A = this chain, B = another copy of it.
Amino acid sequence: MRIGQLAQSVGVDTQTIRFYERQGLLPPPGRQENGYRVYTEKHVERLAFIRRCRILDLSLAEIHELKRYQDAPHQSCTAVNALLDDHISHVRSQITALQALEKQLVSLRARCNDDREVKACGVLAGISEGSMHQQ
């Protein structure tokens, strides 16, 4: 299986596959005489795993870490679960921050009804005043 086929079967760009290889996420495949990469079913699985991790918004570093755990299958999975717990709290704090941001933006927006002159725009005034509780 060549790179284009792998790319299509997992739904990834060929560039991305080479990128993962350079990053050490995907093991270097064999090569044909002409230099073309040759992949196996294991590569398909591995790449699909990476993609599913990315859908979960795990960073490449976190995926690396998961890989290291997979390579020691008889150890306790505490670290795996902890990684996920950490990631969940990453996501939660992002949500919290964005919700606070949304509140701020909505109240800023409420300072202007349409059709004023820019000079009198409540939104611009609100930003310029600095009447924002930071963070």
Asked whether A17 is an interface residue with its Cβ less than 8 Å from the other chain, the reply is no
Residue of B nearest to A113 (CB): B81
The CA of A69 and the CA of B123, in the complex, are separated in Å by 12
A76–B109 Cα distance when bound, in Å, is 15
**A26 beta carbon closer than 8 Å to chain B:** no
**In chain A between 63 and 82, which residues have their CB closer than 8 angstroms to a CB of chain B?**
66, 69-70, 72-78, 80-81
Judged by DSSP, the binding face of A is: helix
Q: Are A91 and B95 in contact (CB under 8 A)?
A: no
Which of A57, A77, A102 has most B Cβ within 10 Å? A77
Give min CB distance, A112 to chain B, whole Å. Answer: 6
